[in-house]
Structures are given as C-alpha cells and as structure tokens.
Structure 1
Amino acid sequence: MSRTKEETIKLINKRYKVLRNFSEGGQGIIYLVKDEQSNHPSIYVIKQLKQNSKKTTSDKAIEAACKHFKQEANILKIFTQDGISQIPCYKNYFELDKESYVVQEFIRGKTLKEIINEVKHLKRFQLVALLQDVLSILIRFHSYYINSNQHAIYHRDIKPSNLIWEEDKGYIVIIDFGITKYGGFADLGDEVELFYENHSLFQQRQYEQEIETVYDIDKTLLLAETGYTTFGTPPYAAPESWIGNVYPSSDIYSLGVTAIEALTGQAPSADSTIKESERRLIGDELADILEKMIRSKTRKRYQSAQEVLNELEPLNAVGNVLNKRYRVVRVINYLNQESLYTETINYTYIAIDTQKFSREVIIREFSPQSQDIEVLQEAQKIFDAECRKLEELNRLNIAIPRLLDYFSEDSNFYVVYEIIEGRYLSQDVFFNQELKQNWGEQQVIQFIKELLITLDSMHNCNCLHLDIKPSKIVTTDQGAVYLTGAARIEEISNLSSNPHGGIRITNPVGTADYMSPEQQRGEYFPNSDLYSLGIIAIQLLTGKEPQTIGDKLSKRAICQALYRKCCILDYVSI
C-alpha cells in the first residue's frame, strides 16, 4: 500500500526529511530533502516516479517511464563514479510501495532562464564562455562508452532551464537527464516516425504540444499518455529529434538556440539569422558560429562539440599561454553578480602552470576601461602597490589564497593565485534558510574571530579586501577559514578617462548588499571591511537577507549589534 501524503512529507525511506516540494505533476514529484542520517547538514533533491497515480495510464507508458527513470539514475551513478563534474552527483536509488526514487545532489543557483529574464541579454564574453563551458561537458557525454553496443550519451534536452549557474564554483551545471539517451536511435523512434508519417502537420503539432502539457513538471519523470517518448523541448529540440533520431549535433543545435536566446531574449527557429544590430554586439565570427549551430539539416551543422570549441578558441583567452607559462583552460565566474549587473569586466581563468608540475592555478585579469596613457599609468601604479602588499602577506602565512605570480601583457594586468578547495559560507547561509535555523552566538563568535585575525594582518599591511561576502569565505576540510577573492587591485577595471580630463572610477569595488555607505561613494577604509563582516555576522545570527539589514541598520548599529551578540569589539577598531 502506498504511503499517505502526510507520511511522505515527514520522512522518505526512514531517512530523508522533506523540506518542501519543488514541483508536482500527474506522475511525479520533486522534493528538497534533508538527510537525517548525515553527521553534517546535507540537502538533496529526491525525484519520485509515481506508477499508480493515474489508472488511465497505459502499462506501456508506465514501463517506458520506469525505464527512463532508472536510466537517469544509472547515468548519474556512472558519471559520479567516474568523477565527471558539472552534473548533479548521484547519491541513491530505491523503490518503495511500487514507486521509484532517485536521490541526487542539490544544485544551488539560478537557472540560465532566470538569469536571462533578469538581465535580458548576455555580453559577448559571457556568451563565448557559456558555450565553451557547456560544450566541454558535452564532449564528455558524447565520447562516453557504456558498453560495446551503446556508444555516446546525448542529453537531448539542453535549454536555459536545464542549465544552473553555480556561483560559488563559477560554472554551469547541466541537470535533467531523464530523456538522455545512449547513442543511436531513441527507444520508440520507429513508432514516432510512423506517427509522423500517418498524421497531418496539424496533428503532429498537436502531438508535440501534448508532450509539453503532459511533461508539466519534469521530463525526467513523465511519459506522454500516448505511450510515446519525448525527445526534447520545442523550440530547443533539433528537428531530427522529433522522429526519434539523435546525434551529437542534436545537442549542439539545442545549445545554439539557448545561446541565441541568451543574446536576444528570444529563442530562434531553425535556420534563423542573427540581426545586424546583434551582430555588431557580438561580432561576425560568433554570429556565424551560432547560425551554423542551428541549421535544420544535420549535415550543415557542426558534427561534434570539439569542432565548435575549436571555432570559438580565437574569441577569448582559452588555449592561450600567458606570460609564456600559464595555459588557460577555462573561464569561470563569468555569470557572477559582479559580471551581470555592471559594465565592469573582470576575467577569471583556470590555467595550467606549465613550469610547476602542471598544477592548476587561478588567474585574474584586470583591464582598464580606457587605453588613455594617464589611465594606464594609474592602473600600473595600483597594480604595483597592491601586488607588493600581497607579496608581504605571503610571508605572514595567513588564511588567504597565496599569490603565486603577477605580470602585465598588452595593457592587461594579471595576478596568479593558488586554488582553495572547501565549503563556501554561502552554502551554510542557504541551509540556515531552508532548515529555518540560525547559527548560535558562540559559533558566530568563533567564526568571526578567525576572519578578524586574517583581516588584522591584511590591514596592518595596508591591504583592504573590499568584497567580503559569503561566496568569498571558504572553510577547508582541515577547518581553516579562508578569505578569498577581491582586493583593491580590482579597481583597475573601473578606471576610465574623464571626458573633461583626468581619471574617473566608474563603479566602486565590492558587492552592493555588503558594502558600507562610504564604500558606495568610492571611499575605502579598514572599517569598510568590518561593515561587510558585520552584515555577515548578523545574517548568520538572524537569518535576515543583507539588503534588509542594510536598509534598517546604520554602520554604528551594526557594530553595536556585533558587540551585543559577539563581544568582538576588542578585536576591531571602529
């Protein structure tokens, strides 16, 4: 007998506590859950396939739905075991009371669809980085061999709502593997092809719309009541996929449509051309690549993800070797808040240090907004001064990423850091909100003290951070709390020439929600960092969003709240 809804909400499989429903439809439910058996707060997504919820559902549809559901779990399990990143990690699969469940990693972030709705269109450098990011994942999929009979894996449902921007890690994660297929033809391709041959164009379109309606919550869970499988989402699905055929170029088509929507705000139809006004924004090279990706005939498209990557390589630094040493392998952080909502462009790269055992490093690139000689001189002055401070901090061995190198090339300025792996504070903030529990005073006190020790050393070297926020604070597996990210060196990218002579700074360094009033005016002091830290402390103690705190509390009130709650004023200078 199936459990009642109330019993399900309490606990699934005597282990997973339901926090809330993400979505629910005729044959499936997606839950956000907490693992009650974990020693640390662990939040997952559970997808449930309900086989007995509709008596009218045919046995064939149920059988096909179960097959696809198990296939999704199997694909995630294989990818997770092989360490493939940028997908949700597989955690568990089980069946209870004739209903199937898959437990997977919860990916916290905005979908590309949500980002497009907010910003309307992406910049050129963001489009190129997005394409490279997703294509690199598709290369892994398409080259995957499950066994001697089943070759490549195709996703078949690439679209903006299936791409999640994970801000902490600075890259895209692909979700929704429910209609992913092992290579060749789809399961019911012959039946679908027969349906298309024997029905009018109007009936075909009705069928496609029916698929969209029945798959109302998640294509990983449902099958159309007709018993036919789905092959993607209009208008992102390639034309050949609607008769059951699928190739590497089918995913490339879907990505091309997605990228053009990110540029224009609207998904194009097959064989569309990019408007001249939009071509001017992104350049003919990128426009030509996008148009070729969405050709209706597969033979006129790119045939592999690697082929598209090769075409994109001249359009940014990926593949370049900087300072005759660092080979850039990918762009990260390209859709972070500071890149989306300002005109400032700061590039962040993962690179291979070819002189140090091929270790991975992070490289930040800063480019002034003007090539005026006075602006470049000011940029060089800031760069030299801030890098000397960072070198001095290296000798103190404090909990910040170690500066490994710095250099300038072609009026661009570069700093090279070690990579710090660990758990971001932003994850804890999210868990606090979902679990409706805040940190205790002693926990906040200890956490803030560790960060204050780091800040004290930085401030003694006349080095300000100026962008302290949860996504810049990382706790390593060894328990060390690192302050990553910004320093005043980022001001280089905000330098521009003044039309009336002199230099102007277009935007203050930092993130608005955590920025002190004087920092918003472009005035930087040590207690600007303390303000940001105070916002975080109150956020952890109260669960309030930073914009709410900033509206209601002045800087003095924040410091007083810190004093009352954490008693840390002995460690700071207000």
Structure 2
Amino acid sequence: MSVCQQCGATLAPEDPFCGRCGAPQQPQSAEGAEAVGAATLVAPSPEKEIDPWDTNADEPPVEGGTSEPEPVMSESQLDKTISPEEAKRPPEEAKQKTTAEIRREAKESPGTARAGSTGGRQPTASKQLEPGVVLVGRYEIVRRIGGGGMGAVYLAKDRNLGDAARAVKEMIESHIDNSQHEKAINDFKRESLLLTSLEHSSIPTIYDYFYDDGASRFYLVMRYISGGDIAARLRNAPGGRIDEKTVTTWAIQVADVLDYLHSQRTPIIYRDLKPANLMIDGNSGRVMLIDFGIARWVTKQEKGVTAVGTMGYAPPELFSGKVEPRSDLYSLGATMFHLLTGTDPQDNPLLIFDFNKNPRPRQIAPSLSNEMEAILMRTVGYKPEDRFRSAAELRDTLSAHLEKLRAGTVT
C-alpha cells in the first residue's frame, strides 16, 4: 500500500491518482513505500487496482454476464456545443473564477450563472464532448464514463491542479422553453451552492460548477469516483442477487448519509434513491450517494421518473406531494428488496409493496434471515408512520443485525 503525497489518503499500489483528492502520484521506491505503510493506518484495500485513464476502469467486474450498454443521446436532444459568439471570445474571458467569486456572483446576479467557455480543441455538434475539449480553460475531457439522454458524465483532467482526475457532470437544458430558462439557471445555482456546503464521506466533493450559455448546458465538477454503480453490480451478480451481509453493510452507510441530510437545518430529502444512484468507491469500497436531482430541475424527465422519484422505488405519499424524511427510508427499503431478492420493484404492477397480494421477501429468496425480512417489510410500510422513525433508527437496527450476521446468530 502507499499513501497520497498530498492529503495522506491510503492508495492502491501503482495508483497514479488519489481517490480522495485526485492529486497525481509519483512512484515510490519499495523501501519508501514500506516505510510509509508501517506508520500509516491501512484503509480497506480496493477490489482491484484502479487506473483513471484505463478505458475499462469505470466498469464493475463481469461475473457470468455482460452489463447493458449505457444509452447515448439522440441527435434531436443536442444543440451545438458552442456558439459562434463564444468561439470568438478573447482567451482572457475563459479564465477560471474562484469559489469566492462564484458565490458572490450567485448572490449578486440571481438571474445568471457564469458562462462556460472552451480552450484548446472546440466541442462539436456530436453526441458527446470529444476527448481533448477543454471547458472554461481548465477541465480537459478525457472520456465519457456514464450518463444518458439528459447529459453525460466525463472523466477530465484539472489543468490548474496538475491534471488531477475529476468527474464532470453535464446536464442539457435543450428541453426548457424560454420562459423557464432563468428559473432553470437559478435552480441550478441554488442546488450547486447547497451541494458545495455538504460534507459527508458518502457524498462526492463538489469542486466547481458553471453554465455554458452557448451550448445550453450546465456542468458540475466533482470528485472522480472509480468503480461502478450498484445497479451494474446487481446485473453482473451471480443469480441476480447480492448477499445479505454485503447489502446490510451498504444499507448502513446509506442510512447514515440520509440521517446527515435529514438532520440539516433545512432537512434535505433525497427523493430518488435507487441502485443506479449509488456507487461503490473503487479505492475505499464505500457507498457514495450521487445525483442530487439537479437534472430533474433543468431537463426533460426520464421515462419512469416523476417529479418526485422513480416508479417502484418512490413511496405512495410522494405522488401526492407529501414528501418527508421517511419517504427516503421507503426508497432505501425498495432498493434493499431489489438487491436481496433480485426482483425489480418497477416490475410490480401495483408499484407499491403490498405483502397481502405480493410474495414476502423470504418467499422469493428463502436464504434471507427472518430478521432481514422484518426490517424490509417495516421499511417499505405503506404509511410513513408504519416505517422506522428516522434514518438513524434504521441505521442502528441494521448495525445490530450486521453484528448478528457476523456472529451467526440470525434465524
């Protein structure tokens, strides 16, 4: 093992970038690495060595199957990625603004967000940004690593920080009419400022955000997370299920970050918890909560996604606008149900859990413990008052259950 030469995080051998801060690493001698390792607390090792520039690094290992390809954007969904006026701008206008300037601009000019500009190679009208494109004179696109019809996520190099690895999330505004344009920008800025204020080990750090007026695209720059999402892991899992101990470990971490969000001065309700919005950090193995819903403010909705969540994972009260913290617990329960049983809640014709009409968890997956079945059924209770009182209570219940699983005392 080695450590980051900038922030001190533990890294996999030969990892060229830090998974925490993104700083590039210089190779250490064997003697130096051994000396550092002896004096450093070793974090859980990654499942595999991650190379950010490896074109296959963002895909989880395939076990007995091939993951489905990510959808790409249709031509009709894209506008030109840069306007003629933008291309003619002097280079001075493309300089990066500081965080202080961005925050001041957000307060003083609520009707606009800073416009993005490109340096180096110019974006084209293709389906996605091409490798080599430089956004706002700073973020050089390396490759596309995810996304769909509403935008994409790219791996990029931060030129201002020694080519540190960053994830750049693109959100396309082409489906917003002129009357909603200013509101979309304001919503994007408000959500971005909110995200920059959050600090939790399961929330990716947000470094920057900007709006490209010529291309009608919003961008978030965040910590690059190596590793795939849980939905992909489930698709590749043997038997289409994930074991109870692993799911319990993941759920504890998700419940903890939900407790953090719900405990803010103004509680934050995530609203769209599902396997596709949970990633596993390839370096730490920790679950990361991604996609805080900015895209739903500024783009055409995905098929199956409502203004409040995803069908099958969304609790009944969300569709009547009665959102509350326990709504997120239902979605976590639906996610756990999917992972443990292999049964997708979106395939349920009722789109809610009614165990008087549908099989109970152990009827689908007999290997589940009685205790886990009880936890699942309580978490997806039809009424909020039927569920756990809080994310903290669910987290503590799951933690106690994990100890029993490890001790072999479950039934």
TM-score bucket of the superposed structures, by smaller chain: 0.5 to 0.7
CA deviation string 1:161-197 (max 9, x = no partner): 1100113212100000125xxxxxxxxxxxxxxxxxx
In structure 2, which of residues 280, 292, 311 is the aligned counterpart of residue 165 of structure 1? 280
Tell me the equivalent position of 1:12. 135
Identify the range of structure 1 (89-98 vs 61-70) with the bigger mean alpha-carbon deviation. Answer: 61-70
Q: Is the 8 A contact 1:158 1:254 kept in 2?
A: yes
Tell me the equivalent position of 2:192. 73
Structure 1 residues 23 and 43, CA, compared in 2 at 3 Å: closer, same or farther?
Answer: same
1:242 and 2:327 correspond: no
One-letter code aligned to 2:165: I
Shift of 1:73: 1.5
Shift of 1:296: 2.1
CA deviation string 1:440-459 (max 9, x = no partner): xxxxxxxxxxxxxxxxxxxx
1:122 and 2:245 correspond: no
In structure 2, which of residues 251, 258, 277 is the aligned counterpart of residue 138 of structure 1? 258
Q: Is the 8 A contact 1:49 1:69 kept in 2?
A: no
In structure 1, which of residues 293, 301, 310 is the aligned counterpart of residue 396 of structure 2? 310
1:98-497 residue pairs with structure 2 within 5 A?
99=216, 100-119=218-237, 120-145=240-265, 151-178=266-293, 219=296, 222-224=299-301, 230-268=307-345, 269-273=351-355, 274-278=360-364, 280-317=366-403
Gaps of 5+ in 2: 1-84, 88-121, 346-350
Q: Is the 8 A contact 1:69 1:178 kept in 2?
A: no
Structure showing the higher strand proportion among its residues: 1
Q: Is the 8 A contact 2:152 2:169 kept in 1?
A: yes
One-letter code aligned to 2:292: F
Shift of 1:117: 0.8
Aligned residues: 271
Q: Is the 8 A contact 2:337 2:361 kept in 1?
A: no
Shift of 1:265: 1.2
Tell me the equivalent position of 1:457. none
Shift of 1:96: 3.6
Q: Is the 8 A contact 1:178 1:219 kept in 2?
A: yes
Structure showing the higher helix proportion among its residues: 1
TM-score (norm 2): 0.59
Query: 1 CA distance for matches of 2:250 and 2:179?
Result: 39
Structure 1 residues 121 and 32, CA, compared in 2 at 3 Å: closer, same or farther?
Answer: same
1:30 and 2:146 correspond: no
Q: Is the 8 A contact 2:341 2:365 kept in 1?
A: no
Query: 1 CA distance for matches of 2:148 and 2:180?
Result: 16
Query: 1 CA distance for matches of 2:403 and 2:386?
Result: 28
One-letter code aligned to 2:178: D
Query: 2 CA distance for matches of 1:60 and 1:288?
Result: 49
CA deviation string 1:274-306 (max 9, x = no partner): 244456422111101101111222222223101
Query: 2 CA distance for matches of 1:24 and 1:286?
Result: 33
Query: 1 CA distance for matches of 2:147 and 2:393?
Result: 39
One-letter code aligned to 2:204: P
Tell me the equivalent position of 1:88. 204
Shift of 1:220: 6.8
Structure 1 residues 242 and 62, CA, compared in 2 at 3 Å: closer, same or farther?
Answer: farther
Query: 1 CA distance for matches of 2:315 and 2:197?
Result: 26
Query: 2 CA distance for matches of 1:132 and 1:24?
Result: 27
One-letter code aligned to 1:31: Y
CA deviation string 1:219-278 (max 9, x = no partner): 4752449xx971111111122212322111111011100001001112234234324445
- Percent identity between the aligned chains? 28
Q: Is the 8 A contact 2:225 2:282 kept in 1?
A: no
CA deviation string 1:372-392 (max 9, x = no partner): xxxxxxxxxxxxxxxxxxxxx
Q: Is the 8 A contact 2:340 2:365 kept in 1?
A: no
1:42 and 2:160 correspond: no
Query: 1 CA distance for matches of 2:192 and 2:363?
Result: 44
Q: Is the 8 A contact 1:223 1:229 kept in 2?
A: no
Equivalent residue of 1:317, what SS? helix
Query: 2 CA distance for matches of 1:310 and 1:37?
Result: 42
RMSD: 3.0
Structure 1 residues 102 and 276, CA, compared in 2 at 3 Å: closer, same or farther?
Answer: closer
Tell me the equivalent position of 1:431. none
One-letter code aligned to 1:114: A
Query: 2 CA distance for matches of 1:64 and 1:22?
Result: 29
One-letter code aligned to 2:352: A
Shift of 1:140: 0.5
Query: 2 CA distance for matches of 1:125 and 1:229?
Result: 32
CA deviation string 1:524-554 (max 9, x = no partner): xxxxxxxxxxxxxxxxxxxxxxxxxxxxxxx
Query: 1 CA distance for matches of 2:373 and 2:150?
Result: 41
Q: Is the 8 A contact 1:28 1:221 kept in 2?
A: no
Q: Is the 8 A contact 2:341 2:361 kept in 1?
A: no
Shift of 1:88: 1.2
Structure 1 residues 295 and 59, CA, compared in 2 at 3 Å: closer, same or farther?
Answer: farther
Query: 1 CA distance for matches of 2:147 and 2:344?
Result: 26
Q: Is the 8 A contact 1:176 1:220 kept in 2?
A: no
One-letter code aligned to 1:265: G
One-letter code aligned to 2:258: L
Bigger relative contact order, structure 1 or 2 (CA pairs below 8 A, ≥6 apart): 2
One-letter code aligned to 1:88: P
Q: Is the 8 A contact 1:270 1:295 kept in 2?
A: no
Equivalent residue of 2:259, what SS? helix
Structure 1 residues 304 and 63, CA, compared in 2 at 3 Å: closer, same or farther?
Answer: farther
CA deviation string 1:315-361 (max 9, x = no partner): 1239xxxxxxxxxxxxxxxxxxxxxxxxxx9x7xxxxxxxxxxxxxx
